[in-house]
């Protein structure tokens, strides 16, 4: 099986799609990252990254219904694919393994 390597922002976007589930669309992701991480995001960067994750087969997208509050425009929603879930699980395992090793390090000031 080929390993899928993600950049930090790709990992963040994939994680947010998993967190938001059926409410995962561009503006909701921007708002959730702002609320949870106090980090400002550019909506265009979010969309470009989501499309790249879709090209990698980690998310899929679909159009929601038109709404009056959006002037009749539809939202593009994203959801994890089984490959995306697998990558997130692998990333979680890798991060936990590294965090467990951290106390074993003998660094000045830690």
Which pLDDT tens digit goes with each residue over 50-109?
999 999 999 999 998 777 776 678 899 999 999 999 999 999 999 999 888 877 666 555
Q: Rounded to whole angstroms, how far apart are CA atoms 36 and 1?
A: 34
For residue 75, which of 19, 23, 33, 40 has the smallest C-alpha distance?
Answer: 23
Sign of torsion over alpha carbons 52, 53, 56, 57: negative
Could you give the domains of the chain?
A: 8-104 (1.10.10.10)
Q: How far is CA 101 from the centre of its chain?
A: 25
Cα angle 58, 63, 66; round to 5: 155
| DSSP state, residue 67 | -
Round to whole Å and give the CA distance between 67 and 47.
20
pLDDT of amino acid 3:
73
Q: How far apart are CA 22 and CA 103, in angstroms?
A: 38
How big is the CA angle at 13 (ends 8 and 15), to the nearest 5 degrees?
Answer: 95
pTM over 0.75? The answer is yes
pLDDT single digits (tens) 5-56: 899 999 999 999 999 999 999 999 999 999 999 999 999 999 999 999 999 9
């Amino acid at each position: 099986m080929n390993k899928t390597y993600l950049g930090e922002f790709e990992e963040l976007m994939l994680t947010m799609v998993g967190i938001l589930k059926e409410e995962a669309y561009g503006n909701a992701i921007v708002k959730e990252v702002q609320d949870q991480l106090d980090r400002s995001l550019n909506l265009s960067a979010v969309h470009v990254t989501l499309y790249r994750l879709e090209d990698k087969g980690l998310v899929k997208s679909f159009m929601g219904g038109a709404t009056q509050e959006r002037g009749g425009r539809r939202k593009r929603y994203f959801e994890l694919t089984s490959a995306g879930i697998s990558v997130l699980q692998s990333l979680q395992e890798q991060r936990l393994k590294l965090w467990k090793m951290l106390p074993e390090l003998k660094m000045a000031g830690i």
